[in-house]
């Protein structure tokens, strides 16, 4: 659906040795409810990792309590569900839209408050 935007983001992602080895602490905490093999979860993790940002990954694969918590907080049952600070941004598509729109870094670094 967003193939053009995804390719644009992939072209901007650092590769190989450019990726930081130590996660960068962000002004706003990033929290993601995920499953291990969900392709959208993998893409969201990949984008955040490519930025070198530290994030909390909460796996809901085998934990119905955590899945229920995610559903209660987000009102959604799909993964990933992503929060930046107190703001629920949605899933992988919304994360990539923020990146394509040059809004993600400002949001994560607390520059748009």
pLDDT of 21: 52
As a whole number, the mean pLDDT across the chain is 87
Q: Where are the alpha helices (DSSP H) in the chain?
A: 3-12, 39-51, 64-74, 92-100, 104-108
34-39: long-range pairs with CB below 8 Å, 24+? 34/58, 34/59, 34/60, 34/79, 34/80, 35/59, 35/60, 35/61, 35/79, 36/61, 38/79, 38/80
pLDDT of 10: 53
Return the residue matching tokens 């949605």.
90
Show me where the domains of the chain are located.
24-108
pTM of the model: 0.80
Return the residue matching tokens 């600070």.
85
Chosen CATH of 24-108 out of 3.40.50.261, 2.40.160.10, 3.20.20.150, 3.40.30.10: 3.40.30.10
């Amino acid at each position: 659906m967003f193939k053009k935007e995804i390719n644009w983001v992939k072209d901007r992602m650092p590769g190989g040795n450019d990726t930081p080895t130590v996660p960068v602490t962000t002004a706003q905490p990033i929290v993601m409810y995920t499953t291990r093999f969900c392709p959208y979860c993998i893409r969201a993790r990949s984008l955040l990792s490519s930025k070198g940002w530290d994030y909390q990954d909460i796996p809901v694969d085998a934990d119905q309590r955590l899945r229920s918590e995610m559903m209660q907080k987000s009102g959604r049952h799909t993964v990933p569900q992503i929060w930046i600070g107190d703001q629920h941004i949605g899933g992988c598509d919304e994360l990539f839209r923020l990146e394509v729109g040059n809004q993600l870094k400002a949001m994560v670094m607390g520059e748009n408050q």
